[in-house]
Amino acid sequence: MMDPDHIADVADNELLARFIVNSNEKRTDGTVSHKLFMPYKWVELSVNRHREAPMEETLQVGFDVAGERQKTLYELANIRAGLCRIETLDLIPAPILPENPNHANITGYPAAKEDQMAIANQLAASVEGSWVAPPSSNEQRLKFESGRGCSRRIFEAF
């Protein structure tokens, strides 16, 4: 994870993760639904920066988020930050300290649902490769789930 005392702006070439915790956010062909990029009631959307974080740490955050929501971490989808800066959208670092200094928000979604959906479709089409499944064996999953307790602050951000 990044040094919490030195959080940099989100660079266009950074890889960001969206955690897939709802089965209707992914498709069997490895693509994602626009629903993965629809903002919640705050008209912003949480992402996790891969910057200075090994995949294990990123997956741990995903397991924590899913656990707090009482959901399953199905997969994560990766997208470049520059591809998220479309129309009115921007990315701002939004660290959740001390647990997750790599948290950021996609901000600037329009208020109208149909406009949000159009943007979400563009973002879903820009996902880099197929979604990435977390470890499938119970032993690996327990390793991640027991590595750190779930955090209420992480949950509230996602």
Helical packing angle, 138-147 and 55-68, nearest 10°: 80
On whether the pTM is more than 0.95, the answer is no
Contact status, residue 94 vs residue 107, Cβ threshold 8 Å: no
Residue 44's identity, in one-letter code, is: E
Give domain limits for the chain. Answer: 15-157
**Alpha-carbon distance 95 to 2, whole Å?**
10
Considering just the CA atoms, what is the radius of gyration of the chain in Å?
15
Q: Tens place of pLDDT for every residue, the chain, 158 residues? A: 999 999 999 999 999 999 999 999 999 998 999 999 999 887 899 999 999 999 999 999 999 999 999 999 999 999 999 999 999 999 999 999 999 999 999 999 999 999 999 999 999 999 998 888 888 634 444 444 444 443 333 334 44
